[in-house]
């Protein structure tokens, strides 16, 4: 779709430059400049891209909040006792301890003890869940009460929380059915619009009033610019980025952007 804008503004700019450099080639009534039109159109397009970037930035902040759910350190249990180590140093198989108020640093399996964990960030369930020997714990959840030992099973980018963050990012970059349809339409739409612009220019050149060259360029440029469906090209990614990011803030995880479009047809929700 940017092709239409580039062609339209490019023709207008080249015509204006030609008038400035070689005014003797043009009759007095044809010496018009269209710099402001080109600048305004490109400025509006860039404004749309800036709004899209701001929406993406706001969504990224929601993901950063998810990343903040993991603590910077973990309490590792060794034969020498317990010690606090940076989260990056924790490896699968290490034994770790959790006490009341701790946030689980990595995924693992409880080997000793009992605790109540708040898993709302994963399940949406506000009531703490009882965990004892053999149960799994996940990074980012919070120990409401109790003390346990657990063995790390997944760390870093392999934890459930990290997979959720990747899933949200993939959803932001994916396209719903309507977005894919827009791409398919553009593949046909752009050549058709260019053809219409050329035909319109030819008609005004051979049958229009004088000066024909001025009307020819103005008509061709107008068709190219006005026919550009820029709003559709900007609205689709902006709505996806904003929707997925906003949902993540409320604990709703969207795996595929197409789910947002399908959600409009839902009539029953089961919990």
pTM for the full model? 0.59
- What local confidence, expressed as pLDDT, does residue 249 receive? 67
* 117-to-95, 123, 135, 140, 185 alpha-carbon distances in Å: 18, 12, 11, 10, 50
- What local confidence, expressed as pLDDT, does residue 139 receive? 92
Structural domain ending residue among the three candidates 155, 184, 214: 155
Say if 53 falls within a structural domain. yes
Asked if 191 and 254 sit in the same domain, the reply is yes
Residue pair 73/87 in contact by the 8 Å Cβ criterion: yes
Mean pLDDT in the chain?
82
Asked if 40 and 172 sit in the same domain, the reply is yes
Q: Which of 223, 227, 204, 224 is nearest to 214 (CA)?
A: 204
Structural domain ending residue among the three candidates 155, 180, 204: 155
Higher-scoring residue by pLDDT: 122, 233: 122
Total domains in the chain come to 2
Asked if 175 and 249 sit in the same domain, the reply is yes
- What local confidence, expressed as pLDDT, does residue 62 receive? 67
Mean pLDDT over 190-219 rounds to: 86
CATH number at residue 78: 2.70.150.10
Asked if 181 and 233 sit in the same domain, the reply is yes
Other CB atoms within 10 A of residue 249 CB:
14
pLDDT digits (tens, 9 = 90+) for 48-102: 778 777 766 776 776 677 777 889 999 999 888 899 999 999 999 999 999 999 9
Per-residue pLDDT band for 262 (boundaries 50, 70, 90) equals confident
Q: Domain of 102? A: 73-155
Asked if 200 and 83 sit in the same domain, the reply is no
Number of alpha carbons in the 13 Å side-chain half-sphere of residue 35? 7
């Amino acid at each position: 779709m940017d092709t239409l804008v580039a062609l339209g503004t490019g023709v207008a700019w080249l015509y204006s430059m030609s008038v400035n450099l070689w005014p003797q080639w043009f009759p007095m009534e044809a010496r018009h400049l269209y710099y402001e039109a080109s600048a305004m159109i490109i400025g509006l397009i860039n404004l749309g891209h800036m709004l899209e970037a701001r929406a993406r930035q706001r969504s990224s902040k929601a993901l950063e909040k998810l990343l903040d759910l993991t603590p910077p350190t973990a309490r590792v249990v060794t034969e020498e006792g317990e010690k606090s180590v940076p989260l990056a140093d924790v490896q699968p198989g290490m034994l770790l301890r959790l006490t009341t108020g701790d946030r689980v640093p990595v995924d693992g399996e409880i080997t000793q003890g009992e605790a109540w964990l708040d898993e709302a960030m994963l399940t949406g369930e506000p009531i703490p869940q009882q965990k004892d020997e053999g149960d799994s714990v996940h990074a980012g959840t919070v120990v409401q009460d109790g003390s346990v030992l657990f063995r790390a099973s997944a760390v870093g980018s392999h934890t459930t929380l990290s997979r959720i963050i990747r899933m949200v990012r993939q959803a932001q970059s994916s396209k719903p059915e309507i977005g894919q349809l827009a791409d398919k339409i553009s593949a046909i739409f752009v050549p058709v619009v260019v053809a219409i612009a050329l035909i319109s220019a030819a008609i005004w050149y051979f049958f229009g009033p004088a000066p024909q060259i001025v009307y020819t360029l103005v008509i061709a440029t107008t068709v190219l610019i006005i026919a550009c469906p820029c709003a559709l090209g900007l609205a689709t990614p902006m709505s996806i980025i904003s929707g997925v990011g906003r949902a993540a803030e409320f604990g709703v995880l969207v795996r595929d952007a197409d789910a947002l479009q399908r959600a409009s047809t839902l009539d029953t929700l089961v919990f």
